[in-house]
A and B are shown apart, each in its own frame.
Chain A
Amino acid sequence: MSKRTVHFKIYRYDPDKDEKPYMQDISVELEASDKKLLDAIVRLKTKDDTLSFRRSCREGVCGSDAMNINGKNGLACLTDVDGLQQPITLRPLPGLPVIRDLIVDMTQFFKQYHSIKPYLVNNDPAPERERLQSPDDREELNGLYECILCACCSTSCPSFWWNPDKFVGPAGLLAAYRFLADTRDQDTNARLDNLEDPYRLFRCHTIMNCVDVCPKGLNPTRAIGKIKDMMVRRAV
């Protein structure tokens, strides 16, 4: 790819300057080496240093640069800029308070993650060596532990938009199932009690936006279904 100009429409809001948010039309000439959307907005920032966004690893493992790209949540670093229809419309992740430009306040998202007790509980005395786990049992954690907490899923979920304080959301529920599925964890009953509530788990209406947007190809809806199955099995 050679040098080319790309056109953006970007949500801008600086609480120190702006009374209200606005959409900015702006273009930038990309270098041949600029391949991902993140490369393009980093290039843009060299022209206008007031554009604010989070970024770190630029390879899709840290989860910093989630944003709404042409109407769909995704990671800027894993999105090919040349595959996007122009003007490329960038907005902050929906449903969370905007702090500035593409930066949202993720407090509520992490509060829900923390609410599911995202840590292994095993009250047996710690053995001298590792706890054994068969390869098949370990396999159960695949598709669960890889979550990068980017919040693409939860902020694409209408149930989370309406009840971010009551519905755990797909990311938190995926993490909840990650511990329920771990043969080393002993807290199954308390974990299910923690979710047995009209909102926390059962606000999931299998709309599946979460699956559609997950940049790691994970499936929170399936994990939520498995938690529901465990509840049913526990009840009978």
Chain B
Amino acid sequence: MNVAKRTFDAVIVGAGGAGLRAALQLSEAGLKTAVLTKVFPTRSHTVAAQGGVAASLGNTTEDNWHWHMYDTVKGSDWLGDQDAIEFMVKKANEVVVELEHYGMPFDRTDNGKIYQRPFGGHSMNYGQAPVMRSCAAADRTGHAMLHALYQRNVRANTQFFVEWNALDLIRNSEGDVLGVTAIEMETGEVSIFHAKATIFATGGAGRIYYSSTNAFINTGDGLGMAARAGIPLEDMEFWQFHPTGVAGAGVLITEGVRGEGGILRNSSGERFMERYAPNLKDLASRDVVSRSMVTEINEGRGCGPDKDHVLLDITHLAPENIMKRLPGIREISIQFAGIDPIKAPIPVVPTCHYQMGGIPTNYKGQVIVPKDGNPNTPVVGFYAAGECACASVHGANRLGTNSLLDLLVFGKSAGESVVEDFKAGNLSLKPLPADAADVSLARMARLENQKNGTDVHEVRLAMQRTMQKHAGVFRFKDLLSEGAARILEVAEQSLHTEISDKSKVWNTARTEALELDNLIEVAKATMISAEARKESRGAHVRDDAPDTAENPNGRDDKNWLKHTLWYRDGNRLDYKPVNLKPLSDDVEPIALAKRTY
């Protein structure tokens, strides 16, 4: 089969927040750049972010990056790398102000500055009280941000390949990355994008779970491609369950609702978070709030006829404030819960939302792997940023509003690294191996010729049900080991998917089958990594790792203060140390402590 080749200085896969931010660096530096995106850029899932982006601007309450760093390290349950966290929180003001200069329509304070609201886990003076750190455009911050970034890229003449799906990563025998293969939806043709640098900004994979706030497109394409090409995936056992998905629908209700004064209540109307987090209450960290909600439901204090959810109450807030600060939430509640939150509380349940793990990178956005005794050796020509990457700033639990910050800071940083490496002459166009497209073509041919195969929808559903049951908000030893076996059976079924649509043009059945190949790698990585981690930390809480004097909250720093690395080949695990040392001397390491809110 003849495969067209296109050559660029850099190829970026994904045009959400991270991809667009990286693209700006490259376009403005004059690099010949291709941005591949499977949906039109403004349809990327960054668009659905609601509550805000963190930055210690201090526009309303006093704030500084030291407090933000402490909150982030504590939120990560000390699994985050402190060099990357210091880098991120120090850059926060710069990248948020840049966005404002790009035209992002932030809400404003009375004196004209960017409006900021409180958010879960963000505090002043090292945990004392909530701080106003989340920079917001009503409850449509992601939408406002994504459009502003796209618009800036229009100005910068960035070259987009819209509705092109990347298929596989191309590496040579030294392991250097040379680009990707991709298929154009409109023609069904496969091409090679040959480049000196490749940046993955492909987003998350929340669709491995049955109930998720994530869009249909969040299928972990970058993670699947990386895993198939021999790159390990880091800390994949850590998944964030957002406390407030609309019960039954899964659609997100921002934490900003609680930032504006919303309260979670159980069946007796009690503000139960006062018992679990006496200090920050409803604004405790997400993992803590989600577990508290599930405990309330499990102990019979859930709401509704099936006692299967709790209520998010904002009926005590002024209607004009709801209309001004939370208009999108009101629309969503009316659309998906049939409830006007001005008049009645919203039924909510914890819902899969965000993957803390991903493709391992350093704070420069370079993809790093263990090699020759160094656990953090950069892969030549390969960079990643945003939810698909693990820098690692979120560790075992991400704070709300740190995801939009992550994609801005590390999207920019990955772009800067490419530009620097390019100018320093460290990047060159290496010869393509003769078999560069063979893996992709074999996948396409297998799908084309499969007979008596499995059904894409059925296999995906089996995967989603397995993940939901075996790797949820609380984790159980027996369910984890059963789940690890079960997901491998589902993975076997995914090797034989069959589709009836054989057309070349806009074949979305084929797209869904190829996406399932990626999802299943993420599901395996999650199950295997979770089964192996024999402690409770952040979002990973096991019944056999309870709170003891030796292991506070079940956290076992002696044995498990380390990053997981899952390799697809051999379904094998490796580990590497957490970096507890900040990047500079401006700050002391945040010392290990028991996490309470």
Contacts and interface: CB of A to CB of B under 8 A. Distances in A.
Interface of A: 14-17, 33, 35, 45-46, 48-50, 52-64, 78, 99-101, 103, 106, 110, 114, 117-120, 122, 126, 128-135, 137-138, 141, 145-146, 148-149, 179, 182, 184-185
A56 B328 CA distance: 18
Given A130-B100, A145-B147, A99 B215 contact: no
B39 A49 contact: no
B351 to A, nearest CB: 12
Contacts of B101: 120, 122, 126, 130-131
Nearest to B39: A56
B132 to A, nearest CB: 15
Interface string B448-461: 00000000110000
A62 B108 contact: no
Contacts of B499: 49
A131 B252 CA distance: 31
Contact of A100 (B48, B109, B110, B505): B505
A63 B97 contact: no
A56 B216 contact: yes
Q: Which of A33, A57, A78, A137 has the most chain B CB atoms inside 10 A of its CB?
A: A57
Nearest to A149: B42
Contacts, number: 152
Contact of B40 (A59, A101, A106): A106
B105 A141 contact: yes
A52 B147 contact: no
Contacts of A114: 154
Given A17-B503, A58-B216, A128-B97, A119 B42 contact: no
A221 to B, nearest CB: 21
Contacts of B335: 59-60, 78
Contact of B457 (A46, A126, A148): A46
B508 A16 contact: no
Contact of A184 (B103, B114, B137): B103
Given A64-B39, A118-B154, A126-B101, 6 more contacts: A56-B43, A60-B331, A99-B505, A120-B101, A132-B111, A146-B140
A148 B143 contact: yes
- Residue of A62, A103, A149 most packed against chain B (CB within 10 A): A62
A62 B508 CA distance: 18
B560 interface: no
Nearest to B503: A16
B507 interface: yes
Given A14-B505, A33-B248, A62 B154 contact: no
B106 interface: yes
Given A56-B215, A135-B110, A145-B105, A130 B505 contact: no
B584 to A, nearest CB: 21
A114 B154 CA distance: 7
Given A53-B508, A119-B102, A138-B107, A148 B42 contact: yes
Given A16-B503, A110-B40, A119-B155, A62 B509 contact: no
Interface of B: 39-40, 42-45, 47-48, 57, 97, 100-103, 105-114, 137, 140, 143-144, 147-148, 151-152, 154-155, 186, 215-217, 248-249, 251-252, 328, 331-332, 335-336, 456-457, 499-501, 503-509, 512
A61 B109 CA distance: 26
Given A130-B114, A132-B112, A145-B147, A56 B504 contact: no
A50 B503 contact: yes
A100 B75 CA distance: 47
Nearest to B42: A149
Interface of A is mostly: loop
A219 B500 CA distance: 43
Nearest to B248: A33
B437 to A, nearest CB: 22
A99 B102 CA distance: 34
B500 A50 contact: yes
B102 A52 contact: no
- Select the residue from A48, A52, A53, A126 with max chain B CB neighbours within 10 A: A52
Contacts of A46: 457
A63 B508 contact: no
B47 A131 contact: no
Contacts of A110: 40
Contacts of B47: 57, 61-62, 148
B215 A62 contact: yes
Contacts of A15: 505
A62 B110 contact: no
B48 A119 contact: no
B42 A52 contact: no
B505 A62 contact: no
A184 to B, nearest CB: 7
Contacts of B503: 14, 16-17, 50, 100
A15 B186 CA distance: 11
B63 to A, nearest CB: 14
Contacts of A148: 42, 47, 143
Contacts of B102: 119-120
Contacts of B106: 130, 138
A145 B39 CA distance: 20
A17 B501 CA distance: 11
A137 B113 CA distance: 12
B336 A59 contact: yes
A61 B111 contact: no
Given A58-B216, A138-B108, A103 B506 contact: yes
A42 B331 CA distance: 23
